[in-house]
Amino acid sequence: MSWRLVYASAVGTSHISADLSCQDACQMQVAWLEDQQPLLSVFVADGAGSVSQGGEGAMLAVNEAMAYISQKVQGGELGLNDVLATDIVLTIRQRLFAEAEAKELAVRDFACTFLGLISSPNGTLIMQIGDGGVVVDLGHGLQLPLTPMVGEYANMTHFITDEDAVSRLETFTSTERAHRVAAFTDGIQRLALNMLDNSPHVPFFTPFFNGLASATQEQLNLLPELLKQFLSSPAVNDRTDDDKTLALAMWTE
């Protein structure tokens, strides 16, 4: 019994033409709790394209979130609830404010979205500020518990650096373990979701989970590069010019 993980990011065509790097970031890991049960953590962030340090902000956000979870695991105290989600967001904000001060910039220059999922055998926590999504199977098929956030105007969203970020934070908790997880930035939102009702577009996800389930260990090592190639393919770039990140996890018995 174990988690199988793969994630990749690919720069969007609009960023390539503007000579910009990918401003998405992702971190995934499986830690072991004191009772030897596995804890899956997935964090994804998308740096705002309208600011100078969005990519840096996204990287700092996912790294800080993962460091905080690692610290909590070592301390043996980890309730998968709204308090944990809020503490993660506050920790990220503290890091971004410190970075902005050190570089004599405004914190909004590090604006990014933030999505996270943490799952143990005893439950699952999902958190979100901004667009993108976390699709999860808790044993009853794929679902999208939290809807991608939109801002006041079209093509706008909310960021973890916003003054009201903590009150904007949305969470979902369940007493069930996640069986399949897919977290993604808004670059592939139109591919991954049925936009009419914000439900998972199951045919998009099925090949990925089938591949994870059947891959040998050698093939698992190749999956990140194959996923990156897919995210950079014409089939995807014809639908979006944005940066794209997809993180996948599957529990195998």
Task: Please state the three-class secondary structure of the chain as a single string.
Answer: CEEEEEEEEECCHHHHHCCCCCCEEEEEEEEECCCCCEEEEEEEEEECCCCCCHHHHHHHHHHHHHHHHHHHHHHCCCCCCHHHHHHHHHHHHHHHHHHHHHCCCCHHHHCECEEEEEEECCEEEEEEECCCEEEEECCCCEECCCCCCCCCCCCCCCCCCCCCHHHHCEEEEECCCCCEEEEECHHHHHHHEECCCCEECHHHHHHHHHHHHHCCHHHHHHHHHHHHHHHCCHHHHCCCCCCEEEEEEEEEC
pLDDT of 190:
93
**246 close to 227: Cβ distance less than 8 angstroms:** yes
Note down pLDDT in tens along the chain; length 253 residues: 799 999 999 999 988 887 788 999 999 999 999 888 999 999 999 999 889 999 999 999 999 999 999 999 998 878 999 999 999 999 999 999 999 999 999 999 999 999 999 999 999 999 999 999 999 999 999 999 999 998 766 678 999 999 999 999 999 999 999 999 999 999 999 999 998 999 999 999 999 999 999 999 999 999 999 999 999 999 999 999 999 999 999 999 8
CA 25 to the chain's CA centroid: 8
**126 close to 172: Cβ distance less than 8 angstroms:** yes
pLDDT of 193:
97
Range of the domain at 221: 2-252
Angstrom CA distances, 240 to 47, 55, 163, 223, 225, stand at 16, 18, 29, 22, 20
Helices 217-231/202-214 angle, 10° precision: 150
pLDDT of 117:
99
Residue 190, domain CATH? 3.60.40.10
Terminal Cα distance for the chain, rounded:
4
pLDDT of 154:
64
Domains in the chain: how many in total?
Answer: 1
Angstrom CA distances, 251 to 4, 70, 74, 165, 212, stand at 6, 20, 23, 32, 10
* CA atoms of 147 and 199, how far apart (whole Å): 9
Report residue 12 as tokens.
């969007």
pTM as predicted: 0.96
